[in-house]
Amino acid sequence: MTGIRSTFLKTVVSLVLGIVMGVLTYYVTVLAVTAPFPSNLTINPLTLAMSAIVGALAVAIGWHRPLVGLTAGIVIIAVVAWAVTWAATGRIVYSPANATGMSPFNAVAFGAVSVAPIFVGATMATVSALRLHSPRTGS
């Protein structure tokens, strides 16, 4: 009975942590992509570097904690789907002018006009699903 309770508790904690991680990763992704770096380039190299770091961390989380990563990836994809639906009806609008303060509401709307959050969410979910599906080895 103790083993079942312990497994259930670990699963619940992983799911809750995954939800929190998904929301946090979504917001950090938006911050990384919209960081205001002065540049004459279309996309600043620092923005690309920050996006790569967020992507690498998403893969690391999904690989080392697959249930957390899978839940976080699903949360990110769900937030983007919700944002696209609300943007299509005109209920939320992304404004680049408000991007300097990065209000959470503007960050959610950013998911409807950018592919960055959906890429990170899909990557987390895919890596986690592959890790959960792969046969366990001795390590």
Q: How confident is the model at residue 102, as a pLDDT?
A: 64
Task: Round to whole Å and give the CA distance between 92 and 113.
Answer: 11
Q: What is the pTM of this model?
A: 0.85
- What are the residue boundaries of the structural domains of the chain, listed by start? 45-134
Residue 2 has pLDDT above 80, yes or no: no
**pLDDT tens per residue across span 49-98:** 999 999 999 999 999 999 999 999 999 999 999 988 888 887 777 777 65
- Look at 71 and 113; give whichever has higher pLDDT: 71
- Where residue 90 falls (left for φ over 0; alpha for ψ -120 to 50; beta otherwise) is left
- The residue type of 66 is P
> Distance between alpha carbon 34 and the CA centroid of its chain, in Å?
15
